[in-house]
Amino acid sequence: MLFDTHAHLNAEQFDEDRDEVIARARENGVSTIVNVGFNRETIPTTLELAEKYDFIYAVVGWHPQDAINMKEQDLEWLEELTKHPKVVGLGEMGLDYYWDTSPRDVQAEVFRKQIRLARKLQMPIVIHDRDAHQDIIDILREEKAGEVGGIMHCFSGSYELAKMALDMNFYISFGGPLTFKNAKKPKEVAAQIPMDRILIETDCPYLTPHPFRGKRNESAYVKYVAEEMAQIHGLSFEELAKITADNARRLFNIREIIL
- pLDDT tens digits, one per residue of 200-252: 999 999 999 999 999 999 999 999 999 999 999 999 999 999 999 999 999 99
Task: Report whether 181 contacts 159 (CB < 8 A).
Answer: no
Q: Where are the domains of the chain?
A: 2-252
Q: Any idea what DSSP says for residue 99?
A: T
What dotted CATH number matches 2-252? Answer: 3.20.20.140
Integer-rounded Cα radius of gyration of the chain: 17
pLDDT above 90 (res 256)? no
Please report, in angstroms and rounded to a whole number, the separation of the first and last CA atoms in the chain: 8
Do the annotations mark residue 63 as ligand-binding?
A: no
Do the annotations mark residue 128 as ligand-binding?
A: yes
Nearest-angstrom CA–CA distance, 211 and 233:
21
Do the annotations mark residue 233 as ligand-binding?
A: no
pLDDT above 90 (res 166)? yes
Q: What is the mean pLDDT of residues 25-42?
A: 97
Do the annotations mark residue 153 as ligand-binding?
A: yes
What percentage of residues in the chain have a pLDDT greater than 70? 98
**What confidence score (pLDDT) does residue 255 get?**
81
Q: What is the mean pLDDT of residues 112-120?
A: 98
Q: Counting Cβ atoms within 10 Å, is residue 120 exposed (0-12), middle (13-18) or buried (19+)?
A: exposed
**What confidence score (pLDDT) does residue 257 get?**
54
In 3D, which of 134, 184, 137, 173 has the Cα closest to residue 252?
Answer: 173
**What confidence score (pLDDT) does residue 121 get?**
98
